[in-house]
Amino acid sequence: MDKGLLFIISGPAGSGKGTVVKSILKKHPEIKLSISMTTRQPRPIETPNVDYYFVTKEFFQDKIENNEMLEYADYNGNYYGTLKSEVFDSLENGRDVILEIEVDGAMQVKAANPEAITIMLTPPDSQTLESRLRGRGTETEENILKRLNKAKIEITFLPKYDYSVINEDGGADACADLIYSIMQAEHSKTVHTKSIIKKFE
Ligand code: 5GP
């Protein structure tokens, strides 16, 4: 059986990547979304062990020391990271895995696994970015400004990504379809399809 492929989707806060990723998974439930671990507090709408594994700083540090993390990063004062156990078994079993992670973690994974495919989702422009961040209504002003600043820095990493996708207002489904097409195209690369030749020997 062919192995699954590892896709990394990054996008600053306000890029709408949460909605886009949900739309991909709804249409294609065979794809696995890695559940990240974080030390930040859950938001009211979030479900523990579904949206994130919410843990203490001590617990997170133990996982780092035990070499159980594929990557991790400090984002606005909290740790976020991917457990190896969320990723490698699924890939071995032929399932594609999506990591929805920020740029530092994405670069760590790409450096260690160059075959991983990186996709950056961006808002169309900085006004749209700011209005989306304010529209969410769950963050303090201080946090909004921090996230806005961080978002602008994250977007400068775009040339290091394999693909970029722009999420227009109301465009989440179209973005999901485009990203799924990218995923299918990656599977069609000859490096993944060499076994076809054997069928003609
Ligand atoms: P939020 O607090 O809005 O859920 O996430 C903040 C940022 O952390 C987002 O850019 C999100 O993609 C990123 N993030 C979520 N999980 C992980 C992870 O496992 N590793 C890394 N490096 N970033 C993550």
The answer to whether the Cα torsion of 114, 7, 37, 2 is positive or negative is negative
Share of the chain above pLDDT 70, in %: 99
Reported as a single tens digit per residue, the pLDDT across 6-20 is: 999 999 988 999 999
Q: How far is CA 101 from CA 33, 61, 140, 192, 194, in A?
A: 11, 19, 22, 25, 31
Closest CA to 119 of 4, 20, 2: 20
Identify the band that residue 49 occupies on the pLDDT scale cut at 50, 70 and 90.
very high
Q: Which residues are paired to 82 by β-bridges?
A: 71
Asked whether 86 lines ligand 1 (CB < 6 A), one says no
**Ligand 1, from 34, 80, 82, 122: best to mutate by most atoms within 8 Å of Cβ?**
80
The closest residue, in CA terms, to atom 9 on ligand 1 is 102
Share of the chain above pLDDT 90, in %: 85
At 42 the pLDDT is 97
Judge whether residue 2 has pLDDT over 90.
Answer: no
At 137 the pLDDT is 74
At 109 the pLDDT is 98
The closest residue, in CA terms, to atom 18 on ligand 1 is 81
- The answer to whether residues 154 and 105 touch, using CB atoms and an 8 Å cutoff, is no
- The answer to whether residues 110 and 116 touch, using CB atoms and an 8 Å cutoff, is yes
Reported as a single tens digit per residue, the pLDDT across 82-106 is: 999 999 999 999 999 999 999 999 9
